[in-house]
């Protein structure tokens, strides 16, 4: 592997987590936007030494930059000062604590609007500062080949935890918790649970505060009134079952360990705590092992009806109930398996499919249309809108849905209708044949691992299935003769 490739891998590991938050470009955090961001960053290459400031000098361009700060406050002050003196304008910024031994070090991802010569001057000045380090310019035009790593067993999902990022409300002033220091501290505490979790651990209990319980109660009560006329029957049945077992109710926020055990018994799915949304590739890959990455934090109490990011309301009320349904669980796993080894372009398509099905899907129930998408079932405003007769409705077809324009700043103008979960699953399986991968994989539910399918594997499996099937037929005949 070349030195440049190693450098890009290190840069990609650092930047992938920024795609989780993607700077609130829109109102909703979207798996699709994450996939697009990931694709852009993956094909970037460091270019500080090679930066060409002679091309299009007179135009204002958007330049991408990543730097590390040894002192957050002093570092940002210096950054602002350098921007002003170099006539560069900050267009976008994202921040996170770095995963180095020194916990005080921060990393910033910046998008800066400036002329090439001004940006080159800025980079030189930033490199001179003792408070800043690892100043890295990102050039999207230079690309390289990247081997796609995938987890081959459920334990290897632990290797993806470095891609998680604490969601920081102080990054963007539009976040409802921006000015609430207690909320920021609370989010840090809950995020730490996810960062330290390993597969096989018990998921720690979160003791929710009175404000958090009030927020849950308000949302839970409102949604329960809408479900009978808006939610699909499988979701309603699952909610009733969760309530029957004492896991769900208006006055309790479910604990992930209890809910995960409930899911295992019914569909084989399980939950894993996560501090925020993983990169699209790793999130989809987890579904292949019937693992759903689930947050434990709840939205800020000042904005109970809207959250710019997934939280436990979205995931426990939107996603979890249907994951207890075996048919829906199988469909979710199919999308995950399709993603393994897929190209960046195909990951974007699969993320779009996920958006129009698992997040915002509608289904046919007799003569009625009902919602099964988690983005609808956890947000009563859009749940009402989806069945109001205002948006356009289309029958689900994966090849068109995978390239359909979507809306992440407002309610969807278009929704796709599935005739059944089985129909969606079969159509997505058919769609998966169009995705080029370097190998074909088979999931083994007994070992929770993947096997590469080659000629030897196929011959061995066919012989085994024929022999096992023949034995079962003989045993059935024997039992019938006894009767």
Tens-level pLDDT at each residue, the chain (483 residues): 444 433 343 333 333 333 333 333 444 556 666 666 565 555 554 443 444 444 455 678 888 888 877 666 667 777 888 888 888 888 877 765 554 444 445 677 788 888 888 888 888 888 777 667 678 787 543 333 356 888 999 999 987 764 434 345 555 556 666 666 787 888 888 888 888 899 999 999 999 999 999 999 999 999 999 999 999 999 999 999 999 999 999 999 999 999 999 999 999 999 999 887 678 888 999 999 999 999 999 988 777 777 777 899 999 999 999 999 999 999 999 999 999 999 888 999 999 999 999 999 999 999 999 999 999 999 989 999 999 999 999 999 999 999 998 776 678 899 999 999 999 999 998 998 888 887 788 899 999 999 888 766 666 766 676 666 666 666 776 676 655
Query: What is the rounded CA–CA span in Å between residue 471 and residue 327?
Result: 28
Q: Nearest Cα to 95, choosing from 106, 103, 105, 104?
A: 106
Contact 318, 383 (CB under 8 A): no
Distance, CA of 459 to CA of 339 (rounded, Å): 25
Which whole-number Å values give the CA distances from 192 to 119, 195, 197, 333, 409, in the listed order?
A: 37, 5, 9, 28, 30
Cα 482 from Cα 158, distance rounded (Å) = 51
E strands, 257-347, in order: 270-273, 291-294
Q: Give the helix/strand (H/E) hosting 392.
A: strand 392-395
Q: Find the Cα–Cα–Cα–Cα dihedral 30, 32, 35, 37, rounded to 10°.
A: -70
Question: What is the distance in angstroms between the CA of the first residue and the CA of the last residue of the chain?
Answer: 67
> What is the structure's pLDDT at 76?
76
Q: What is the pLDDT of residue 97?
A: 57
At 149 the pLDDT is: 84
Grouping H, G, I as helix, E, B as strand and the rest as coil, residue 427 is helix
Predicted TM-score (pTM) of this structure: 0.70
- CA-wise closest residue to 306 among 189, 166, 177, 173: 177
Please report the pLDDT score of residue 78 as a whole number. Answer: 79
Tokens coding 118:
């001004």
Query: Would you tell me the crossing angle of helices 326-339 and 280-288 to the nearest 10 degrees?
Result: 130
Instruction: List helix spans (H) across 231-306.
Output: 233-244, 256-266, 280-288
Cβ neighbourhood burial of 300 (10 Å; 0-12, 13-18, 19+): buried
Q: Which residues are catalytic, by number?
A: 314, 319, 359, 378
181: exposed, middle or buried (C-beta count within 10 Å: 0-12, 13-18, 19+)?
Answer: exposed
Rounded Cα–Cα distance for residues 271 and 259 (Å): 8
pLDDT of res. 462: 64
- CA–CA separation, 17 and 38 (whole Å): 9
Rg (CA), the chain: 24
Which pLDDT value is given to residue 47? 42
Q: How far apart are CA 443 and CA 341, in angstroms?
A: 14
Cα angle 324, 329, 331; round to 5: 155
**How high is the pLDDT of residue 46?**
45
Contacts (Cβ under 8 Å, ≥6 apart) of 342: 148, 350, 435, 436, 437
| pLDDT at res. 106 | 66
Distance between CA atoms of residues 38 and 16, nearest Å? 6
Q: Are strands 362-365 and 414-418 parallel, antiparallel or unpaired?
A: parallel
CA–CA dist 147, 131 (Å, integer): 35
Token readout for 308 is 């710019």
Query: Cβ atoms within 10 A of the Cβ of 5, count?
Result: 14
Residue 255, SS3? coil
Measured CA to CA, the distance from residue 400 to residue 419 in angstroms comes to: 16
Burial state string for 425-454 with b = 16 or more CB within 10 A and e = fewer than 16: bebbeebbeebebeeebebeeeebbbeeee
Residue 66 near residue 138 (C-beta atoms within 8 A): yes
């Amino acid at each position: 592997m070349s030195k440049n490739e190693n450098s890009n891998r290190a840069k990609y590991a650092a930047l992938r987590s920024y795609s989780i938050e993607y700077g609130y470009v829109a109102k909703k955090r979207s798996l699709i936007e994450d996939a697009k961001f990931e694709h852009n960053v993956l094909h970037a290459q460091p270019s500080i030494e090679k930066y060409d400031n002679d091309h299009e000098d007179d135009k204002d361009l958007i330049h991408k930059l990543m730097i590390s700060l040894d002192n957050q406050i002093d570092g940002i002050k210096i950054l602002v000062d350098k921007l002003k003196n170099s006539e560069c304008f900050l267009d976008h910024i994202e921040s996170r604590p770095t995963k180095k031994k020194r916990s005080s070090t921060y990393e910033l991802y910046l998008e800066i609007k400036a002329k090439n010569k001004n940006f080159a001057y800025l980079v030189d000045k930033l490199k001179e500062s003792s408070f800043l380090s690892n100043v890295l310019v990102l050039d999207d035009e230079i690309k390289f080949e990247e081997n796609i790593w995938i987890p081959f067993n459920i334990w290897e999902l632990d290797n993806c935890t470095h891609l998680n990022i604490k969601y920081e409300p102080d990054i963007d002033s539009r976040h409802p918790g921006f000015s609430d220091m207690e909320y920021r501290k609370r989010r840090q505490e809950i995020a730490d649970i996810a960062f330290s979790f390993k597969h096989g651990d018990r998921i720690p209990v979160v003791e929710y505060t009175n404000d958090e319980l009030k927020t849950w109660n308000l949302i839970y009560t409102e949604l329960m009134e809408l479900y009978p006329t808006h939610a699909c029957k499988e979701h309603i049945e699952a909610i009733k079952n969760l309530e029957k077992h004492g896991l769900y109710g208006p006055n309790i926020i479910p604990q992930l360990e209890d809910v995960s055990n409930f899911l295992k018994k019914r569909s084989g799915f399980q939950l894993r705590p996560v501090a925020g949304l993983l990169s699209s590739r790793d999130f989809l890959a987890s579904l292949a092992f019937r693992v759903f990455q689930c947050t434990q934090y709840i939205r800020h109490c000042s904005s109970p009806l809207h959250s710019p990011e997934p939280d436990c309301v979205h995931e426990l009320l939107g996603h979890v109930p249907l994951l207890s349904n075996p048919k829906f669980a199988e469909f979710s796993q199919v999308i995950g398996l399709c993603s393994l080894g897929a190209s960046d372009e195909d990951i974007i398509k699969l993320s779009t499919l996920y958006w129009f099905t698992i997040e915002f899907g509608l289904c046919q129930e007799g003569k009625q249309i009902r919602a099964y998408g988690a983005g609808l079932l956890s947000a009563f405003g859009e749940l009402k809108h989806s069945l109001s007769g205002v948006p356009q409705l289309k029958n689900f077809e994966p090849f068109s849905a995978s390239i359909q324009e979507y809306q992440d700043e407002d309610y969807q103008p278009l929704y796709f209708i599935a005739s059944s979960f089985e129909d969606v699953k079969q159509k997505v399986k058919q769609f998966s044949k169009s995705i080029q991968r370097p190998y074909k994989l088979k999931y083994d539910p007994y070992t929770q691992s993947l096997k590469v399918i080659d000629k030897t594997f196929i011959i061995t499996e066919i012989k085994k299935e024929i022999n096992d099937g023949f034995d079962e037929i003989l045993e059935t005949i024997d039992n019938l003769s006894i009767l």
